[in-house]
């Protein structure tokens, strides 16, 4: 009878909770969380107890003590009277400096080389292939030493500097270039520059709309370039050239004045750019090859030139494939910048995890802070790239 069947299906009493898969799963999750919390409590407590037993000072109080040592390259004011906390900032900024420049240069180099390797020009394709296969297969640390020891340390001493013209000098202590000194009235030039850029944005939009509506095309690239030079240039001249240069000159042992680009930065930047550039080139090549050849043929059939086919049809589709692995390469570059310590570039690892750690002896705190910094930087870069990837991803309709 139907009623009997219903009774058999719906049990009269609740099942035991260990027979209910949902509750059982919950129980194991709670146990797992307890185990993890307990484990971390044990580990941290154990470490603190042992540190205390051995009379090793702990805590973050050291960050406000005077550092007492100097650093070669500082983007913010620093001398030995500043605190250990300030050395953290100095090291962090130096890491960010080399990472930022490295990411931009490596991406540019990688795109050029990746496209070049697919070129129909035999020479261009082979040059790109040789570059990629050579530098991709030599360890990064060796490349850093190569640039630093074999190339930059063979430069002449300050008194025999190579003169590069325009007040620039190159010697074993680095590249010395004039630095601009902004005088009053220069702000007008900056305002003019910003205004021009905003104008160009509108020009580009107007051009797009007009092209969509009428099919007429205005050479917006050349026009923007001309505007960018002429407008701020005129304002600069009208304001009475409010800019002078601070030239480096040989005083005593070294050049003083101007801007110094230390050889450690040059070597590290060269090595990181050239090494990471090879991986980005291969990523770009893979992305372009992933776009079906039919797309190129269709674009050609529509009468688009080779360069416009690449720029308007192939690259936008290739970006979907390129961006995720490109993000990984950027993250690798940031992490690899910590090899700076091998040649004495004052990055976070060298300054903070090196000198500061040694002068204070607070290994656990400092290593924790340093790891947290790399984690944070890389997560932020990842977030940004994921956001960008979403923007360029193909919207399926």
Partner 1 sequence: MKKIASVAALSAIAVGMSTAAQAEGTLDAVKDKGFVQCGVSTGLPGFSNPDEKGNWQGMDVDVCRAIAAAVLGDASKVKYIPLTAKERFTALQSGEIDVLSRNTTWTQTRDTTLGLNFAGVNYYDGQGFLVSKNLGVKSAKELDGAAVCIQSGTTTELNLSDYFKLNNMQFDPIVFDTSDQTVKGFEAGRCDVLTSDQSQLYALRIKLADPSSAMVLPEVISKEPLGPVVRQGDDQWFNIVKWSLNAMINAEELGLSSANVDSMKESSDNPSIKRLIGLEGPKGEGLGLADDWGYQIVKQVGNYGEVFERNVGAGSPLGIERGINALWNQGGFLYAPPMR
Q: Which residue among 29, 50, 241, 376 contacts partner 1 (CB under 8 A)?
A: 50
- Least distance CB 174 / partner 1 (angstroms): 10
- If binding means CB under 8 A, how many residues of this protein chain bind partner 1? 46
Check binding of 257 to partner 1 (CB under 8 A).
no
Q: Are 336 and 72 in contact (CB under 8 A)?
A: no
Check binding of 256 to partner 1 (CB under 8 A).
yes
Check binding of 355 to partner 1 (CB under 8 A).
yes
Rounded CA separation 89/162 (Å): 34
Which strand ranges, in their side-by-side order, compose the sheet holding 162-165?
162-165, 168-171, 174-177, 259-261
Length of the chain equals 397
Check binding of 309 to partner 1 (CB under 8 A).
no
Q: Is 83 exposed, middle or buried (0-12, 13-18, 19+ CB in 10 A)?
A: middle
Which residue stretch of 63-71, 132-140, 319-327, 373-381 sits at the interface with partner 1 (rule: CB under 8 A)? Answer: 63-71
Q: Which residue among 24, 361, 383, 393 contacts partner 1 (CB under 8 A)?
A: 361
**What number of CA atoms fall less than 13 Å from residue 100's CA on the CB side?**
7
Check binding of 87 to partner 1 (CB under 8 A).
no
> Given the complex with partner 1, which of 69 and 388 has the nearer CB atom?
69
Check binding of 182 to partner 1 (CB under 8 A).
no
Q: Which residue among 153, 187, 241, 376 contacts partner 1 (CB under 8 A)?
A: 153
- The conformation of residue 233, written as its DSSP 8-state character, comes to H
Q: Is 208 exposed, middle or buried (0-12, 13-18, 19+ CB in 10 A)?
A: exposed
Could you tell me the two tokens for 354? 């090196």
**What number of CA atoms fall less than 13 Å from residue 376's CA on the CB side?**
8
Which residue stretch of 47-55, 84-92, 100-108, 309-317 sits at the interface with partner 1 (rule: CB under 8 A)? Answer: 47-55
Using CB under 8 A as the binding rule, the residues of this chain from 323 to 342 that contact partner 1 are 341-342
> Given the complex with partner 1, which of 37 and 225 has the nearer CB atom?
37
Rounded CA separation 191/201 (Å): 16
Dihedral sign for Cα 132, 137, 142, 144, please. Answer: positive
**What number of CA atoms fall less than 13 Å from residue 68's CA on the CB side?**
10
> Given the complex with partner 1, which of 110 and 248 has the nearer CB atom?
248
Q: Which residue among 31, 56, 290, 298 contacts partner 1 (CB under 8 A)?
A: 56
Check binding of 42 to partner 1 (CB under 8 A).
yes
Check binding of 258 to partner 1 (CB under 8 A).
no
Which residue stretch of 35-43, 221-229, 290-298, 378-386 sits at the interface with partner 1 (rule: CB under 8 A)? Answer: 35-43
Q: Which residues contact 273 (CB under 8 A, 6 or more apart)?
A: 102, 105, 106, 109
Check binding of 46 to partner 1 (CB under 8 A).
yes
Secondary structure class of 165 (helix, strand, coil): strand
Rounded CA separation 23/335 (Å): 43
- Least distance CB 265 / partner 1 (angstroms): 13
Q: Which residue among 225, 290, 363, 383 contacts partner 1 (CB under 8 A)?
A: 363
Q: Which residues contact 148 (CB under 8 A, 6 or more apart)?
A: 263, 264, 267, 268, 343
Check binding of 142 to partner 1 (CB under 8 A).
no
Residue 194 CA, chain-centre distance (Å), reads 25
- Least distance CB 357 / partner 1 (angstroms): 7
Integer Rg of the chain from CA: 30
Q: Which residue among 26, 27, 31, 39 contacts partner 1 (CB under 8 A)?
A: 39
- Least distance CB 117 / partner 1 (angstroms): 34
Q: Which residue among 27, 130, 149, 225 contacts partner 1 (CB under 8 A)?
A: 149
Query: Which positions touch partner 1 (CB under 8 A)?
Result: 39-40, 42-43, 46-47, 50-51, 53-57, 68-72, 79-81, 149, 153-154, 157, 172-173, 251-254, 256, 263, 341-342, 344, 346, 350, 354-355, 357-361, 363
């Amino acid at each position: 009878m139907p009623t009997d069947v219903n009774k058999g299906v719906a049990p009269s009493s609740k099942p035991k909770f260990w027979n209910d898969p949902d509750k059982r799963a919950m129980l194991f999750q709670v146990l797992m969380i307890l185990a993890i919390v307990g484990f971390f409590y044990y580990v941290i407590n154990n470490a603190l107890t042992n540190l205390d037993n051995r009379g090793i000072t702990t805590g973050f109080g050291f960050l406000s003590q005077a550092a007492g040592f100097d650093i070669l390259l500082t983007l913010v004011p620093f001398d030995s009277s500043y605190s250990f906390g300030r050395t953290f900032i100095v090291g962090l900024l130096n890491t960010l400096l080399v990472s930022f420049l490295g990411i931009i240069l490596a991406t540019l180099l990688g795109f050029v080389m990746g496209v070049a390797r697919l070129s129909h020009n035999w020479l261009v394709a082979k040059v790109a292939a040789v570059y990629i296969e050579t530098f991709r297969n030599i360890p990064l640390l060796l490349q850093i030493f190569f640039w630093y020891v074999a190339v930059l340390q063979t430069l002449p001493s300050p008194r025999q500097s190579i003169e590069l013209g325009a007040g620039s000098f190159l010697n074993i202590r680095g590249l010395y270039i004039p630095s601009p000194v902004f005088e009053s009235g220069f702000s007008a030039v900056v305002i003019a520059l910003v205004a021009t850029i905003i104008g160009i944005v509108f020009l580009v939009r107007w051009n797009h709309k007009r092209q969509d509506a009428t099919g007429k095309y205005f050479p917006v690239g050349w026009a923007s370039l001309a505007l960018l030079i002429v407008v701020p240039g005129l304002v600069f001249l009208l304001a009475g050239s409010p800019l002078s240069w601070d030239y480096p000159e040989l005083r005593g042992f070294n050049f003083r004045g101007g801007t110094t680009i230390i050889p450690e930065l040059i070597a590290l930047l060269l090595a990181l750019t050239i090494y990471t550039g090879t991986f980005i080139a291969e990523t770009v090549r893979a992305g372009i090859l992933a776009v079906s050849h039919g797309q190129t043929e269709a674009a050609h059939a529509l009468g688009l030139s080779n360069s416009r086919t690449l720029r308007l049809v192939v690259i936008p589709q290739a970006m979907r494939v390129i961006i995720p692995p490109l993000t990984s390469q950027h993250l690798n570059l940031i992490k690899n910048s910590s090899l700076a310590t091998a040649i004495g570039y004052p990055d976070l690892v060298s300054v903070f995890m090196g000198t500061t750690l040694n002068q204070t002896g607070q290994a656990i705190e400092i290593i924790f802070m340093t790891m947290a910094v790399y984690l944070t930087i890389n997560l932020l870069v990842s977030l940004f790239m994921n956001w960008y990837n979403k923007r360029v991803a193909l919207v399926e309709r």
